[in-house]
Copies of this chain bind each other. A is one copy, B any other.
Amino acid sequence: MAGRPVCVYMLEKKPEIVVAVDGCGGDRGSKHIVNAVNFALTLYPYMRLIICGPVSLQEELNHGRIDGKRVEFRLSGQAIPQDAPVNEVLERYQKSSMRLALQAVQSGEAQAMVSAGGTGPLVVLARHLLGEIGHLRPALVARIPAGPGRHALMLDLGANAQSTAQDLADFARLGDAAARLMLGLESPRLALLNVGTEEQKGSHVVLEAKSLLDNARELNFCGFIEADRIFRGDADVVVADGFAGNIALKAAEGVYTIFSKVPGIKRVFARLAHPDWLMPWQYNGSVLLGVNGNVIKSHANAGDDAFAVAMVEAAKAAELDLANGMRDILTHAGA
């Protein structure tokens, strides 16, 4: 599955997938969402969308020549600010578009949801409405490039502001199950992100997590990995705390962007073997693992293409029946 280009979805007959979209999150407004919806519906012809958002979005959708049979609109004028305090999220935003989209998953009307809203609110609401799998701490995972046509997974990408050694060990278990399902691997190679590969190097948390994982015989844990190797395919799952994971990916994205803006480079890359497998917009949409439902987080500032890719990621998670598959694997493993 992973590794094939997005357009493959146009060639295969698939069962219909319903994805709920939080139409309030994100920095770019209604017009951007309409463009993204159009693009996503083209990329994935077997997807229907339930879009939750304000009147302005409804009007844009009406003007946007969207196929009415494939889009249902649900009105919600309430947006949750990106940085809403966690303790207010449950009480104060009962009618928010994010909550509405999650409720569509909870009720079974949608098989997945996607939001470009704040990570904090999304994680709190998803845990509350959908419940957790076992006793594992939920984490955001994303496919990352690992060579031409190859992917790895990386987590946590920011579901948790700080992590203990036990949290990192939880992320490894989540990542292991996710790699079996998302990458089709039988025994995914797990590695822990660190500042060196020597036994004694790193923070206390990372060193303690390593000793927990060294003792987890059921996992294929291969030790530490440094940040310059994460895109090399040295590991199938890169485990990091949400702070370091986020910083590694954003730093990589920053360099990619600088390269891609060199004048004339796109033309040149088109002729050469352009490493387009690195292209960040292909990788928008991280999955919140460890909750009973397929929840996808998009970058808040994702462009039209990237937000559409996040919707497709949601459809792919639904198609894999990811959350249920995770629960089966992890319950079997006694998480």
User: A264 to chain B: closest CB distance in Å?
Assistant: 6
Contacts A83-B200, A248-B251, A254-B227 known; A272 to B268 CB distance under 8 Å? yes
Check if B273 sits within 8 Å of A259, measured CB to CB.
Answer: no
Q: Closest CB of chain B to A278's CB: distance in Å? A: 6
CB distance from A298 to the nearest CB of B (A): 15
Q: Which of B201, B230, B232, B250 is within 8 Å of A227, CB to CB? A: B250
- Among residues of B, the one whose C-beta sits closest to the C-beta of A254 is B228
A106 at the interface (CB under 8 A from B): no
B195 and A158 contacting across the interface, CB-CB below 8 Å: yes
Task: Tell me the A100-136 residues at the B interface (CB within 8 Å).
Answer: 120
Residue-wise interface mask of A (153-192) relative to B, using a CB-CB cutoff of 8 A (1 in contact, 0 not): 0000010011000000000000000000000000000000
Is A265 an interface residue when CB atoms closer than 8 A count as contact?
yes
Chain B residues lying within 8 Å of A232, measured Cβ to Cβ, are: 254, 258
A23 at interface by CB-CB < 8 Å: no
Q: Would you call A85 and B254 a contact (CB within 8 A)?
A: no
Interface residues on A, range: 35 or more
| CA–CA, A203 and B255, complex, Å | 24
A5-13, A45-53, A91-99, A238-246: which lies at the B interface? A238-246
A275: contacting residue among B83, B158, B258, CB under 8 A: B258
Q: State whether the Cβ of A274 lies closer than 8 Å to any Cβ in chain B.
A: yes
A254 with B273, Cβ < 8 A, contacts A200-B85, A203-B162, A247-B244 known? no
CB distance from A17 to the nearest CB of B (A): 31
Max chain B Cβ within 10 angstroms of own Cβ: one of A199, A226, A253, A258: A258
From A158, A193, A255, name the one whose CB has the most chain B CB atoms within 10 angstroms: A255
- A229 sits at the interface (CB 8 A): yes
CB contact under 8 A between A255 and B278, given known A161-B202, A201-B83, A262-B273: yes
Interface residues of A in 278-303 (CB under 8 A from B): 278
Residues of B within 8 A of A249 (CB): 227, 251
> Given A162-B203, A227-B249, 9 more contacts at CB 8 Å?
A120-B201, A161-B204, A227-B250, A228-B250, A232-B254, A248-B248, A249-B251, A262-B275, A268-B268
